[in-house]
Structure 1
Amino acid sequence: MFPTRAAQVDARYSAVQGWLLDTVLAISLFATLAAMISANLGSDRGPQVVPYLWALMLGSLMLVRRRRPLVVLGITVLSLFIYYAAGYPVVGLSVPAVAALFSAAEFGRGWWAIGAAGLLLVVGYGVRLAEGQDVALLLVGYELANDVLLMAAAIALGTGLRLRNQLRENSARLLWATEERERALAQAAITTERADIARELHDSLGHQGTVISMHTNIARESMVTHPETARDALEVVQKTNGAMMSELRRTVRTLQRREPSPAPATLVDLQRSLLAHLPIDVDTEITLPGELPRHLEATAYRIIQESLTNVVKHSEADAARIAVTTGDGQVRIVICDSGPSRRADTGAGGPGYGIRGMRERAVNVGGHLTAQQEDNGFVVRAHLPLDYPPTRPDPDGRVGGTR
């Protein structure tokens, strides 16, 4: 993922802010050490340039502390030993090293900072005590406590700042990941809804289109010899076309969110809306102990609708059989016709969208579906569990194509 313009601006601002902070830290460290060197405590050599250059070097190291915190820490400790070995004015142990200790702890080198502080204290105070100074009690009781506290504070401050930065970065990553997840979920919801609408349009309008096509052929063939039959067929075409246009307008309004989704179809509607105008005989056997869940009944309706549409479009059979039963905690649906297929290459290209759509509907309610040629004709079998929860608060059967 490429950084946004706002992220690039924030990165540049943070870089400038860090550079300014390091510059202020470098100047402060140099000024503090220069003032202490000017006091000329513990030395009889008088003012010299080298101590000030040493102070300038320690201050300059702050400008690279972010990239090389361990190098800065190592140079500081080593140069401090050399400084005292040369007999230059006393500047203490903690003040020259505090910035390097803070930097090491801030950038994830806390244990190195603790080790460097311990080394400075052991070597520095060990050498002074070994020289037999008379101020051993003062040295241990006063200066040691101050140096330990100052070094510990620097390390603790650096560690705290590092943890704060890590928390801020982790929070930013979590926020970004949450936003990405929300976007992915929104896109998945849109994709699922589009697939649902595509299945609905394919199943409902495809069925109505098939009815219109078949009755148009009937009207054309019987126009001269059986005008009454032609008029009845054209009336069916007119009614079916009106239903198709209503379905399209309702779908458009649903897409525009100007009205809720229509109520799902039920198995009770089979005889009235599905079987009434089909140009084939349909033997229906529905044996149910009671009402089915809405999402399950709507799924069963759409599977039956698409199966019968396929019979009309792709089979030469003049009859079909539907059986809907329950048992073992599931609904069993069987739709079969005796065929044969209208196409010589049936099955050569694999299942079409209609069968795929039926399988998707069955899978989306926890079931499965098969559609294949058997000895007694083409058979669609669906098994839908009764206890599978709906995937929507108000399911309308749009969960879940041609041979």
Structure 2
Amino acid sequence: MRKTAYLALVVAVFQVIASHGAHAGQLDRLRVDSLGTVLLLVGPVAILATRRFPITSLAATLVATCVFMTLGYPYGPVFLSPVILLFKTVAEGRRKVAWIASAITAAYFLVYSTWLVDRPAAGAWHVLAIVAVMLLILAAGEVARFRREGRAEHARVAEEESRRQASEERLTMAQELHDVLAHNISLIHVQASTALHLLDDDPSQARPALTTIKAASKEVLGELRSVLNVLRDGAPRSPTAGLDRVGELIERSGMDVSLRQVGSRPLPSQVERAAYRIVQESLTNAARHAPGAKVNVRLEYLPAELVITVDDTGPTTPAVLSEEGSGNGIPGMRERASALGGTLVAGPTGTGFQVEARLPLPEETE
């Protein structure tokens, strides 16, 4: 608003002072008097009001300019206000209004230069110059409008991209929380059930189960803290787990799990995290649906992909947690694989169950 007020003041001073000076070179025109000064001030006042009344401000300025010319006042400085308002009208997107107003004004000057002045030829040159300037101003306004809309579109796209990234981060955190809680709570539940069963008959055997519960509860707290830290400003956004911790994961599971790795190579962080979570969720499903089973975990590092295979031999005791799952385990693993351009297949194999995920890897650089 302050810039608009400064602009209106500068235009008012220029139009009034310069119009008095212009009379010296146009002695056939009337000297600017009080009425002429009022007409010259209509434009600056309209500039002040253009934000609230853009069309009315433009119309008032053009009418005042036409009346100023018809009464015989000097050419020149009076055109500054119409030029500014026409430019602003086009630049702000009111193209139709600006072009119609320009056409009407040009028609007026054509009539004026042909029939209303003493020297029509001179008037014709004036109207041609005015039309040329009008077209130039309208073209400049179109360029400004195009650039303004381009900046607005760029800002809109950037905002949408920011929202999309924020949404993806929220989904990632939700998936992390699901995997962490599902695995560790299932493990705690299984070990707690084992401890309760053994507490009366064989208390010494309950100690390992209680130790596993303690470790799992500590692990879940650490994982939750790590995941939730991404909500804090300046918090590191590194993966919360990687394949280097699969051994710890297997030890905490309390199951008969064998691990085999074929090959080895550095992996991108997102692949590390996805692979760890797939193994974790597979072990969770085995603990929930196949207690007592022998589980085999195989990590095969191929040139173009990482193949993760987790299979079990089937339950040997009743599956106490088989009906308590969220139903999101396998779909969640499949989403992780798909997000990286990979695949995941899960299904029964004989008496057991198998999960096989293939995660694409970038080419190795020497």
TM over 0.5: yes
1:287 CA drift (Å): 0.8
> Pick from 196, 199, 210: which aligns with 1:220?
196
SS in structure 2 of the partner of residue 292 of structure 1: coil
Say if 2:50 is the partner of 1:22: no
- Aligned counterpart, 1:313: 288
2:267 to 287, 292, 295: 292
Q: Is the 8 A contact 1:265 1:301 kept in 2?
A: yes
Residue 252 of structure 1 is matched in structure 2 by 228
Whether 1:378 aligns to 2:324 is no
Which amino acid in 1 is paired with 2:277? Answer: R
Paired amino acid for 2:120:
G
1:234 match: secondary structure: helix
Mapped contact 2:265–2:301 kept (Cα < 8 A) = no
- Structure 1 residues 25-174: aligned runs within 5 Å: 25-32=65-72, 67=100, 90-93=118-121, 95=123, 147=124, 149-174=125-150
CA distance in 2, matches of 1:325, 1:263: 21
Counterpart of 1:49? Answer: none
Three-state SS of the structure 2 residue aligned to 1:223 is helix
**Cross-structure match for 2:36:** none
Question: Is residue 242 from structure 1 mapped to residue 240 from structure 2 by the alignment?
Answer: no
Q: How far apart are 1:219 and its partner, in Å?
A: 0.8
Q: In the TM superposition, what is the alpha-carbon distance from 1:190 to its structure 2 partner?
A: 0.9
Aligned CA distance change for structure 1 residues 153 and 230 (closer, same or farther; 3 Å)? same
**Is the Cα contact below 8 Å between 1:264 and 1:294 reproduced in 2?**
no
- Whether contact under 8 Å (2:106, 2:127) holds in the other structure is no
SS of equivalent residue, structure 1 residue 283: strand
Residue-by-residue CA offset, 1:187-235 (whole Å, 9 max, x unaligned):
1111111111111111122211111111100011111001012222122
- Aligned residue number for residue 183 of structure 2: 207
Q: Would you say how many aligned residue pairs link Structure 1 and Structure 2?
A: 291
User: CA offsets per residue over residues 159-192 of structure 1, 9 Å max, x none?
Assistant: 1110121122222212221221121111111111
The one-letter code sitting in structure 2 at the alignment partner of 1:384 is L
1:195 is the counterpart of 2:171: yes
Corresponding residue for 1:12? 52
Greater RCO (Cα-Cα under 8 Å, separation 6 or more): 1
CA drift of 1:29 comes to: 2.5
Change (3 A) 1:192 1:92: same
CA contact (8 A) 2:212 2:254 kept: no
Distance 1:68 1:167, change over 3 A: closer
The one-letter amino acid of 2:305's match is Q
Work out whether 1:276 is the aligned partner of 2:251: yes
* Alpha-carbon shift at residue 355 of structure 1 (Å): 2.1
* Shift in Å, 1:10: 6.1
Structure 1 segments unaligned to the other structure (5+ residues): 1-8, 36-63, 96-146, 390-403
Residue type of the alignment partner of 1:206: A
Please state how far the C-alpha of 1:268 moved relative to its aligned partner: 2.9
Q: In the aligned structure 1, how far is the partner of 2:117 from the partner of 2:67?
A: 20
Q: Deviations over 1:90-116 (max 9, x none)?
A: 440563xxxxxxxxxxxxxxxxxxxxx
**Quick one: which of 331, 337, 358 aligns to 2:333?**
358
Cα deviation for residue 156 of structure 1 reads 1.8
Give the match for residue 206 of structure 2.
230
Matched residue type, 1:233: A
- Distance apart, 1:32 and its partner CA: 2.6
Change (3 A) 1:10 1:278: farther
Instruction: Give the partner amino acid of 2:135.
Output: T
- For 1:270 and 1:284, locate their aligned partners in 2 and report how far apart those are by CA, in whole Å: 9
Task: State the distance in 2 between where 1:285 and 1:65 align.
Answer: 75
Report the Cα offset of residue 276 of structure 1: 0.9
CA contact (8 A) 2:342 2:357 kept: yes
What per-residue deviation string (whole Å, max 9, x for no partner) do you get for residues 289-337 of structure 1?
Answer: 4333443233211111111111112335612211111335211111122
Is the 8 Å Cα contact of residues 226 and 240 (structure 2) preserved in structure 1?
Answer: no
Residue identity in the other structure for 2:68 = S
Distance 1:234 1:253 in 2: 29
Structure 2 letter corresponding to 1:372: G
C-alpha distance 89-74 of structure 1, shift in aligned 2 (>3 A): closer
Whether the aligned pair in 2 keeps the contact of 1:369 and 1:382 (CA below 8 Å) is: yes
Q: CA RMSD in A?
A: 3.5
Q: CA deviation at 1:77?
A: 5.8
Is the aligned partner of 1:177 residue 2:153? yes
**SS of 2:66's equivalent?**
helix
1:157 Cα shift? 0.4
TM-superposed CA distance for 1:25, in Å, is 1.4
- Indicate which of 273, 296, 300 corresponds to 1:325: 300
1:388, 1:194 → 2: CA distance?
30
| Partner Cα distance (2:185, 2:68) in 1 | 85
Instruction: Tell me how far apart the structure 2 counterparts of residues 249 and 328 of structure 1 sit (CA, whole Å).
Output: 35
